Structure 1
Amino acid sequence: MRVALVLEYDGSRYCGWQSQPQSCSIQDALEAALSAIAKERIRVITAGRTDTGVHALYQVVHFDTSVHRPLTAWVRGVNAFLPNDIAILWATEVSDKFHARYSAVERRYLYLLLSQPARPGIHHHKVGWHHLPLALERMQFAGNILIGEHDFSAFRAAECQAKSPIRTMTQLHITRHGNLFVFDLRANAFLQHMVRNIIGCLVYIGKGKYPPEWMYELLENCDRTYAAPTFSAAGLYLAGVKYDGDWCMPELAEVPLIPGMSLYH
């Protein structure tokens, strides 16, 4: 039997998604909790691996098991064995043809960036931070340059294992809420560190270090060394994974992120 789960987590104290020998990852915690309910060893496949310190509002995994449990056991039962900063939101049985990663047709990430002179306190680990003012219009212009199918080599990590740097960006929407900038990115898939590297370049443009047209140069030269440094993981959230309607996966509902502000799918 194959089961699909939707979960959320605060990645602040974890070494990323992928299982590690020291058992410090989200995957390690989830597989231990699932195994406790199934009474057998469970391994999960994820829609996308998140890095150290990155959060998820809507992560999808699937796993195979020989035991039958009610769906409530895969939600409330597993949650009873999980740390408080990881929670299963939804579960369903799926066909053996469903694959959390390969069946996905789009991923969505949100990046929350606080622009103010002093570093954040209450929202430490939940937002990125830049101490200088940022020009929204400059960043919006530059972000639109990335829409479409491109070679994103200038925005991939050196250790990225993806076979191809070609990705299709379908949305890069930037809004401002007081001193908080919200970057909403959608693509068929993302390269390792791609979102954080894009944010770093947009910040350089927003503070006036480079003109918005610099983004054309980065796409053309395909050289990571010309781009800005990788930005902080603190403000990054995996916010959605889209599948064909035949799989009947739930839609992402209203997402409260910062007190007094809500973001919608």
Structure 2
Amino acid sequence: MRNIALKLMYNGTAYHGWQVQKTVSSVCETMEKGLSNVCGGNVKLVGCGRTDAGVHAERYIANFHTESRIPVERLPFAINTHTPEDIVVREALEVAEDFNAILSCQKKEYTYRIYNSRIKNPFYVNRAYFYPKHLDEEVMDRAARAFEGTHDFRAVRSVGTETKTTVRTVHYCRVSRSGDLLELKVCADGFLYNMVRAITGTVLYAAEGKLTPEDIPEILASGDRSLAGPTVPPGGLYMTRLWYEDERLNE
């Protein structure tokens, strides 16, 4: 029995997130069907984390166990012929027996993209949040940095998946601009349900003058979701980087 790790990327617009669900299409279910056709028998994938409906992944790691002897270098092409065009396997690697895509992951980076222009761009539909009023990226960056460190992040999560603790460590949270495109990048040891989208909404509130960057520590300390900004739409969110002990998975 081999343990195979897959490096994936996907456009999540057509899917209700990564996780298999009973009545709607998910990335994991779609991948498992393709893998079963390639490897024979039922294949169960373990993903590096949940992504919500409509969220994308430029980098994603999943693993599965199989008795199939297909060489790893041939697996991406074989799998990609059995999956839709909006999901792509970039590489397959044989990994240690005890490797688990989610439990072995040390930290993750998400990027939220905002198209900040008076005129819409059709190529960013469902791929960036259109915001027509000019945003001050310096104010946004100051607000974003207020989320760095170890905190209880209850104030920026939606009620959903239960967790043992709502304390997380954010290694960095920064905002940058390139032309009309703004990016909020946040790296943490783990994320709560809708946490990045709520952080982004709070950073936008700071840019709109509805709160100041200096208010954010107090908002976090309160644990009160109503004091933070809104949960922004999913189409602007991407999983963009992952860290593992196996360096091959970080490339």
TM-score after normalising by structure 2: 0.96
**Total equivalences in the alignment:** 250
Provide structure 2 residue ranges, at least 5 long, that are not aligned to the other structure.
Answer: none
User: Equivalences for 1:66-81 in 2 at 5 Å?
Assistant: 66-81=67-82
Greater fraction helix: 2
Residue matched to 1:97: 98
Q: Using the TM superposition, give the Cα deviation of residue 122 of structure 1 relative to its aligned residue in structure 2, in angstroms.
A: 2.1
Per-residue deviation, 1:163: 1.5
- Structure 2 residue identity aligned to 1:35: S
Matched, 1:175 2:176: yes
106-115 or 208-217, larger mean C-alpha shift = 208-217
CA distance in 2, matches of 1:207, 1:179: 17
Alignment of 1:1-265 (within 5 A): 1-244=2-245, 247-252=246-251
- Structure 1 residue 218: deviation in Å? 1.2
Q: CA deviation at 1:23?
A: 4.8
Contact map agreement 1:199 1:231 (CA 8 A) in 2: yes
| Deviation for aligned residue 1:141 | 1.2
CA distances 1:49-98 after superposition (whole Å, capped 9, x unpaired) = 10011000110001111222111332110000010010001111111111
CA distance in structure 2 between the partners assigned to 1:180 and 1:248 by the alignment: 31
How many Å separate the matches in 1 of 2:17 and 2:186? 20
**Which has the higher mean CA deviation after the structures are superposed, 209-218 or 84-93?**
209-218
Q: CA deviation at 1:249?
A: 2.4
Any stretches of 5+ residues in structure 1 without a counterpart? 253-265
Distance 2:118 2:162 in 1: 37
CA distance in 2, matches of 1:22, 1:90: 30
CA distance, structure 1, for counterparts of residue 121 and residue 218 of structure 2: 33
CA contact (8 A) 1:132 1:207 kept: no
Runs of 4+ with >4 A deviation: none
Percent identity over the alignment is 31
Structure 2 contact 12–53 (Cα < 8 Å) conserved: yes
Q: TM-score, normalised by structure 1?
A: 0.91
- Residue type at the aligned position of 1:7: L
Counterparts of 1:227 and 1:173 in 2: how far apart (Å)?
18
What residue identity is the alignment partner of 2:250? E
Range that drifts further, 18-27 or 43-52: 18-27
